Structure 1
C-alpha cells in the first residue's frame, strides 16, 4: 500500500514491540484495568507496529491481545481499540462483510467505502474479501441490493475508473452535455448515463465535467442528482461526486453529520478516524475547520466522553486554531 504523508498517526520512533507488549500486559493484569497506557500505546503506533505488538504479546504470554482488550474494556472504547488492532488491509473487507451480513444492509458503509477508495484499493479489498471469507464480494453485494443502486455499486466494484491523464476537452463537453440531457432535459432520468460517466471516468476528467456542467446548466451537478434521483442511488451518486471533488471534504462532512444533533453515530466516527488516521486525517481536519467553522478536535471533545473521547482525541492529533 502507498505511504501517505497526511496522517496523524505515523510509525513510532524507537519502537519496541516487546516493551509495548509488557506495558499492555501490566495495564490489564490483575484487578482493574489501567486504560491510560493502553490508549497511549495503541493510538501512537502505526497499524503495522500494532500488529508487531500483538505478535510480541502472544510470544511473551501465550495470550491474544485482542481477546484481552475485549475482556478488559467495554463499550465504545473497546470498539475503538479493537478497531485499531484490525490489520489495515482487512479493515474495509471486514466493514463491508458486516454491512451486508444478516437482515438488512448498511448502505451507508457500502456507499462510503466504494465511493472513496481508489481502483487499486478496491481491487485489494476484493482480493482480501475472497481470501478471508472464501466468497466473492460482488456476489454478496448483488444478492443484497437491487436496481440502479446495485448497478452503480457493481460499476465501482470493477475498479475500472480511467487513470488520470491528459484532459480531452471535447469529451468533457460531450459528457457534461450527456449528463444534462440525461437529467434536466429528459422526462424521467437516464440513470444509466449517470452510472457510466460517474463510475468510469478519471477523477481529473470528472472535475472538468462538473465545471462544464455548471456552465451549461447554471447550477451544480449535485442539485440535478438531488432532483432527478432518490433513495440509495441518490446517496451513492452524491458520495461519488463529493469524493471526486475532494475525499477529505467528503469525510469531513460525514464526520460533521455523525456528531450533529441528538446522539452520535459512533460507528461512522470510529470507522473514519481509524481508517484515515494514517492516510489523510490532517487534510480532513483542515476541511472540517474550513467547511464547518470549528475544529474536528473541538467537535469530538463536545460530542464524546470518557476514555472513548481520550482515544479519539489522541488519534485526531490536535487542535486546528
Structure 2
C-alpha cells in the first residue's frame, strides 16, 4: 500500500487498544523471519509476528520485506495461507483508513447491501475520520463514496446515510431539540427529517441529554418510539445510530456477539489499536462471558490463535 494512504493518519484513533507498538522492534529481523515462515508455511510464526506489531510497524515490515526479497508481502502470504486466517492476516496489513474504505466497499459489493456494516462504520467514526475515508475510497476505487452509498440505499435511509457521511457539529439547544423530535411524532406518520438533522449534527453528550429528555417528554422508551413510529431500513438505521450515541462500545459488543467471522474480523481489526479494551468490557457485561472465552468456543486452530492475540487477554 502506498504510504500516501496513511501519511496524515496518526494510527491511534484512541488509547484503549489491545495492540500496542512492539517495544523491541527490528523490521529487518521480522522480514527475514517472515520470509522463512512463508517458505516453510509456518503459520504460527506469521501469526506471532503480525499480531504483535501495531499497524504502523506492519507497514514498515512490509516495506522492508519488499526491499529484501523484491516480493510483495501480501502476495507472499496468499501463497502459503488459506481460509479465515489468511483473510485476517491480510486485513492486518492494510492501513486503518484504507481498511475502513475497504469494509464500506465490501458492504456494498455483490447482491444486496449490508446495512448494519455501513451503519457501524458511519456511526462510530467522526466527521474528520469520514473525510479521510472518503478521500481514500476515491483513491482506491476511483469512485465517489457518497454516490456509491446513494446508489445502494433509498428513501429516508439514504438521507440518513448521507447525513452521517457528511456529519457536522452544529450547536443546538437541548429543549428545542426535544420539542422538535417530539413534534415529529405527532402526525399520522412520523417525520424523519428532524431525526436525521438533529442526530447527525450534534455531539454525543448533547444528544444523550436530548434522548433522555424525549423519553421523559413522551413517556415512552426510545426503543418503543422507534419500533412503533418508523419502519424498514430507516428504523434499523435510527436504532443503530441511537445505540452508538448512547454507548458505541455496547453496540460493537452486541455485533461481536453474533460471532460471524466477517463481523468479528472487521471490529477487532478496526478497533484493535483504538478501544477494543472498552468493547471487551461491554462484551462481558452484555453476554456474561469474556470475549477471549467466546472466541475459543466459535473458532479454531491458527485462526483462533490470531484472534486471541488481537483480543490479548481474558477478562
Q: Which residue does the alignment assign to 1:75? A: 83
Q: Which residue does the alignment assign to 2:125? A: 117
User: How far is the alpha carbon of 1:223 from its aligned partner?
Assistant: 2.3
**1:55 matches 2:58:** no
User: How far is the alpha carbon of 1:102 from its aligned partner?
Assistant: 3.6
TM-score (norm 2): 0.93
SS in 1 for 2:152: coil
Q: Which residue does the alignment assign to 1:314? A: 309
2:211 & 2:287 partners in 1: Cα distance? Answer: 23
**1:150 matches 2:158:** yes
Q: Is the 8 A contact 1:222 1:241 kept in 2?
A: no
User: How far is the alpha carbon of 1:222 from its aligned partner?
Assistant: 2.8
The number of aligned residues is: 305
Q: Which residue does the alignment assign to 1:269? A: 264
The superposition leaves residues 198-233 of structure 1 with CA deviations (integer Å, 9 ceiling, x where unpaired) of: 111221110100111121122322321122112221
Q: Is the 8 A contact 1:120 1:159 kept in 2?
A: no
User: How far is the alpha carbon of 1:161 from its aligned partner?
Assistant: 3.2
**1:281 matches 2:254:** no
Q: Which residue does the alignment assign to 1:93? A: 101
Q: Which residue does the alignment assign to 1:212? A: 213
* Root-mean-square deviation over aligned CA pairs: 1.4
2:153 & 2:219 partners in 1: Cα distance? Answer: 34
Q: Is the 8 A contact 1:111 1:235 kept in 2?
A: no
SS in 2 for 1:44: coil
* Structure 2 unmatched runs, 5+: 1-8
User: How far is the alpha carbon of 1:15 from its aligned partner?
Assistant: 0.5
User: How far is the alpha carbon of 1:153 from its aligned partner?
Assistant: 0.6
1:43 & 1:18 partners in 2: Cα distance? Answer: 17
Q: Is the 8 A contact 1:249 1:284 kept in 2?
A: yes
User: How far is the alpha carbon of 1:104 from its aligned partner?
Assistant: 2.4
User: How far is the alpha carbon of 1:194 from its aligned partner?
Assistant: 1.2
After TM superposition, list the pairs within 5 Å mapping 1:147-296 onto structure 2: 147-162=155-170, 171-183=173-185, 185-256=186-257, 258-259=258-259, 265-296=260-291
User: How far is the alpha carbon of 1:45 from its aligned partner?
Assistant: 0.4
Change (3 A) 1:38 1:236: same
The superposition leaves residues 258-277 of structure 1 with CA deviations (integer Å, 9 ceiling, x where unpaired) of: 22xxxxx1101100000000
- Out of 301, 310, 316, the position equivalent to 2:296 is 301
TM-score (norm 1): 0.91
* Structure 1 unmatched runs, 5+: 260-264
2:273 & 2:232 partners in 1: Cα distance? Answer: 32
